[in-house]
Amino acid sequence: MDWPTTLFVRHPQIFAPYLRAREALGQREAAGVGRILRRAGIRPPARVLDFACGLGRHVIPLGRAGFSVVGTDLSRIFLAEAQRTARRNGLDSAAARFYLADYAQVAETLRRVGEPPFDAAICLFTSLGYRGRAADVRVLRNLRRVVRPGGLLIWETADFDWVRRHFASEATVTLDPAHEHREVRTYVPSKSEIRSRWTFYRIGRRRRRLLDVEVRVHVQTERTLRGLLRDAGWRTQDVYGDLVTLGRRTRTTRRLVIVGRRPLSDAV
């Protein structure tokens, strides 16, 4: 089952409204990313890679802040919209550029087009956990290979400890009068996995079902995130409860932000 391809490649127009609805939040999160980078001495015009950038909602504000940002995604439709938005915001290719790249082949794609090493990579909005632990480790190793020694990885995802305490078997998300989707969820403890059936609707004169897709996501705890980073060759540097406030992680925070650093002695 390859649900990311189904949803993001074959039917991107169905998911795009959910990304557009998060644009304002993306700007606040990008400001938090900028604060993390500056605390580590990474300042504009440093090079930042946004892995699984979607519509570029973090690429564009980071580019406007002076960083040189590259976004990769597996959806041509998402990338085309991201590039149009970047140009409307006055960002040229030095400030924001985009590449189509498969989930597991980002390093190969960037090397093929001649991109030099990055000062940092970001992976936001639960963009890993789709294909199992081994696949996540491979992706994180590939990201390490394109970040310079001493550079950072900022990974943001759902906090599984919060999800487990507040698990709901059903949920309906209404973005606006025209878009809605329903989730029916099952938690599989042995795999730390949420299995869901997402049904997307367009709401107009009548309610029309657009797509059903089976979704599986491994939701991470701080402990498992640290283990993934370690196995991929990163060293954990900081942990936060969200990207907007950069407050500490607590029992009430829903998101989990972990910052890894590529060791200076890493010769990969």
pLDDT attached to residue 175? 80
Instruction: Give the pLDDT score at 268.
Output: 64
Architecture of the domain whose range is 162-218: Single Sheet (2.20)
Judge if 3-158+221-261 and 162-218 fold alike in CATH terms. no
Q: What is the pTM of this model?
A: 0.96
pLDDT in tens, 170-224: 999 988 888 999 999 999 988 889 999 999 999 988 889 999 999 999 988 999 9
| Residues of the chain predicted below pLDDT 70 | 1, 268
Residue whose tokens read 């490649």: 9
| 3-158+221-261 maps to CATH 1.10.3720.10 | no
pLDDT score for 102: 87
Per-residue exposure over 185-220, b if at least 16 CB sit within 10 Å of its own CB, e if not: bebeeeebbbebebbbbeeeeeeeeeeebebbbbbb
**Domain locations along the chain:** 3-158+221-261, 162-218
